[in-house]
Structure 1
């Protein structure tokens, strides 16, 4: 007999941007914005576990760098990807910029975000605070509202500045929506901005993860990426190889 799923509301906050809710269902907790718009999923037994393919694909983007020391997250959510990077990558300096003050609080209280000394969280608008962030080996852009991608996902100047904040050899990883043809939203803008010099990883949730190098002389070492993912698999508890096989040049 199938057991009925019991949903519990653990927290609900209303701020200037709307509602934020934390729900618990069995062994998982969910961060939701607005009217049941799921932002993040946390496996309570292991908050660094990446449940969804799009978060695993973003971790693959991080593995493009052979030895990252620093990372910048634009958008925190529940912090699962941040926790995964702190646990599985050799990063020592991690900064996160989050728009909504309640999100870090809820992540710490309900979603298992550790108070790691390597992690520094700033509250504010990423569009305004990006210029004051330190350069980083990895920059993650995951800025979503109740209605979908934030305007920054299609803002030429902002996306250009993200690439400029990369350290030499660094990688910019963008969680972008896909259009009806499976291409990233704003594909024409992205092709022009990054001179078609980036890689795409489509995932089943309807997103396309973009992996953008710091400059045109830098290329994706697919063999090295695959080897790093294979070595990490026993610690992750899952393989990334099927997702790596879906990586394609910019379309």
Structure 2
């Protein structure tokens, strides 16, 4: 963020500060003085600005979901993109901090309506609570002022995610590259049949875990990717070229 940033919003809660800054055509969600959680273009809120967020959508080459759950909202760029580009998708979004929801709706054009339902609560509590049905796809991107929420790689959390997926569902986890050497793949291998991953230049490690194996050949995936890129309006090829299969 540059010194030319203009602050539009600031609110404190028990976890720290939530800020919204503006730099030209960009609006930025920040959880600290030198922090950029996410950003959105005012001119096109569906044009995802961060490489890791685009990488998370690579899962749409494996599955055509109808029911999507997002754990963690941020500025809501991914959810806005899905809402605008995929009218057949219904979303439920879980976000812990009310100030983040307020910022996303007021400053980042997060859509409102029947196709996008918000739950203000902890993601783990939501997963362990009364069933909200099963999902085709779960995105888990839970970050706070100190970085990634460690519950995102906790065995109980992962089991609950798997339990909320349909038979052919997929889980997408946004982690840090430092977790590559952890036991995470071993934990996932006990729950999922197909595990793939992508590392980004921003330091993220995005994992795709499928309840069933993806039967698409490489040529089929490439055809799906071209169709998907046209629908999204941006390229996923950099992520696809780095896609690695673990299981």
Q: Normalized against structure 2, the TM-score is what?
A: 0.90
Matched with 1:139 is 138
Deviation track 1:150-209 (CA, whole Å, cap 9, x = no partner) reads 021221110121122111211100001012xxxx35632332332484000111110011
| Deviation >4 Å, runs of 4+ | none
Matched with 2:23 is 25
Choose from 210, 223, 245 the match for 1:227: 223
Matched, 1:109 2:106: yes
**Structure 2: 5+ residue stretches without partners:** none
1:229–1:5 CA distance, 2 compared to 1 (3 A): farther
Deviation track 1:85-133 (CA, whole Å, cap 9, x = no partner) reads 1222354321000000111111110111121320000000011111333
Q: Secondary structure at the match of 1:38?
A: coil
**Structure 1: 5+ residue stretches without partners:** none
1:205–1:84 CA distance, 2 compared to 1 (3 A): same
Contact 1:98 1:126 in 2 (8 A): yes
Matched with 1:249 is 245
Matched, 1:189 2:190: no
How many residues align? The count is 241
Choose from 42, 55, 58 the match for 1:57: 55
Contact 1:62 1:173 in 2 (8 A): no
Q: Quote the offset at 1:220 in angstroms.
A: 5.7
RMSD: 2.0
Contact 1:12 1:20 in 2 (8 A): yes
Matched, 1:88 2:79: no
Matched with 2:121 is 124
Deviation track 1:8-39 (CA, whole Å, cap 9, x = no partner) reads 00000001111000000010000001333211
Choose from 205, 209, 226 the match for 1:208: 205
Contact 1:7 1:23 in 2 (8 A): yes
Contact 2:8 2:21 in 1 (8 A): yes
Q: Matched residues in 1 for 2:210 and 2:117: separation?
A: 24
Q: Quote the offset at 1:248 in angstroms.
A: 0.3
Q: Quote the offset at 1:226 in angstroms.
A: 2.7
Q: Matched residues in 1 for 2:215 and 2:103: separation?
A: 36
Q: Normalized against structure 1, the TM-score is what?
A: 0.89
Q: Quote the offset at 1:55 in angstroms.
A: 0.6
